[in-house]
Structure 1
Amino acid sequence: MTIDVAPTPWTGRDDGPGVERRRWHHAINKPTNTTVASDASMSGGVAIIGFQSDEGVRRNKGRTGAANAPAAIRAMLVSLSAPAELCAQDLGDVRVNEHAMEAGQERLGHAVAGALQTSLLPIVLGGGHETAFGSYLGLAESGAVNGRRLGIINLDAHFDLRSDPISSSGTPFRQIAELHAATGEDFTYRVLGISEANNTLDLFHTASQLGVKHMIDEDCGITNLPAVTDFVSGFLNEVDAVYLTIDLDVLPAHVAPGVSAPAALGVPFEVILAVCRQLARSPKLLHVDVVELNPLFDIDNRTARAAARLVHAIATEHTALLRETPTAPASSPQTGIELL
Structure 2
Amino acid sequence: MWEAADLNAWQGRIDEEDGAAGHRWHQIIQAPRTDRPGVCLLGFASDLGVKLNQGRPGAAEGPGVLRSALANLAAHNDHAVYDDGTVRTGDDLDAAQSAYAERVGQRLDDGHFVIGLGGGHEIGWAGFQGMRRWLDRHDPDARVGIINFDAHFDLRKPNPKGTSGTPFRQVADWCRDHGQPFHYACIGISDASNTEALFQFAHDNRVRYLRDLDCLDVHANPFIRRFIGELDYLYVTICLDALPASVAPGVSAPSALGIQPGFLFHCLSEIQRCCQYAHCKWLISDVAELNPRYDLQDRTAKLAARIVWEIDRLQRPEFNGHAS
Q: Same fold (TM over 0.5)?
A: yes
Aligned CA-pair RMSD: 1.8
Q: Cα distance 1:285–1:39, how it changes in 2: closer, same or farther (>3 A)? A: closer
**Which of 163, 174, 177 is matched with 2:157 structurally?**
163
8 Å Cα contact 2:28-2:81 kept in structure 1: yes
8 Å Cα contact 1:249-1:292 kept in structure 2: yes
8 Å Cα contact 2:241-2:258 kept in structure 1: yes
How far 1:50 moved relative to its partner? 0.4
Q: Quick one: distance in 2 between partners of 1:6 and 1:81? A: 20
* Counterpart mapping for 1:303-318 below 5 A: 303-318=300-315
Q: Which residue of 2 aligns with 1:325?
A: 321
Q: Which residue of 1 aligns with 2:133?
A: 141
8 Å Cα contact 1:22-1:84 kept in structure 2: no
**Deviations 1:258-309 (CA, angstroms, capped at 9, x unpaired):** 0011111000000011112222453521000100010000001111111100
Q: Which residue of 1 aligns with 2:57?
A: 64
Q: Cα distance 1:295–1:145, how it changes in 2: closer, same or farther (>3 A)? A: farther
The higher relative CO (CA closer than 8 Å, separation ≥ 6) is in 1
How far 1:146 moved relative to its partner? 2.3
Q: Which residue of 1 aligns with 2:86?
A: 93
Asked whether 1:55 is paired with 2:59, we answer: no
**Which of 282, 285, 290 is matched with 1:288 structurally?**
285
How far 1:326 moved relative to its partner? 6.4
Q: Specify the SS of the correspondent of 1:115.
A: helix
How far 1:227 moved relative to its partner? 1.4
Q: Report the AA paired with residue 289 of structure 2.
A: E
Q: Report the AA paired with residue 201 of structure 2.
A: T
How far 1:39 moved relative to its partner? 5.8
Q: Report the AA paired with residue 265 of structure 1.
A: L
Moved more, 227-236 or 122-131: 227-236
Moved more, 301-310 or 78-87: 78-87
Asked whether 1:29 is paired with 2:30, we answer: yes
Q: Specify the SS of the correspondent of 1:20.
A: helix
Moved more, 160-169 or 291-300: 160-169
Q: Specify the SS of the correspondent of 2:229.
A: helix
TM-score of the pair, normalised by structure 1: 0.88
Q: Quick one: distance in 2 between partners of 1:86 and 1:279? A: 21
8 Å Cα contact 2:248-2:299 kept in structure 1: yes
How far 1:8 moved relative to its partner? 3.0
Asked whether 1:271 is paired with 2:263, we answer: yes
Q: Cα distance 1:226–1:7, how it changes in 2: closer, same or farther (>3 A)? A: farther
Q: Cα distance 1:151–1:210, how it changes in 2: closer, same or farther (>3 A)? A: same
Q: Which residue of 1 aligns with 2:224?
A: 232
Identity of aligned residues (%): 39
Q: Which residue of 2 aligns with 1:34?
A: none
Structure 1 runs not aligned, ≥5 long: 32-37, 330-340
Asked whether 1:7 is paired with 2:30, we answer: no
Q: Which residue of 2 aligns with 1:259?
A: 251
Q: Which residue of 2 aligns with 1:214?
A: 209
8 Å Cα contact 2:125-2:170 kept in structure 1: yes
How far 1:321 moved relative to its partner? 4.5
Q: Report the AA paired with residue 178 of structure 1.
A: D
**Deviations 1:189-214 (CA, angstroms, capped at 9, x unpaired):** 00000000000011000000110010
8 Å Cα contact 1:256-1:298 kept in structure 2: yes
Asked whether 1:151 is paired with 2:145, we answer: yes
Q: Quick one: distance in 1 between partners of 2:270 and 2:28? A: 23
Q: Quick one: distance in 1 between partners of 2:314 and 2:19? A: 21
8 Å Cα contact 2:31-2:83 kept in structure 1: no
Q: Which residue of 2 aligns with 1:332?
A: none
Q: Quick one: distance in 1 between partners of 2:284 and 2:84? A: 15
Asked whether 1:247 is paired with 2:239, we answer: yes
Moved more, 298-307 or 134-143: 134-143
TM-score of the pair, normalised by structure 2: 0.92
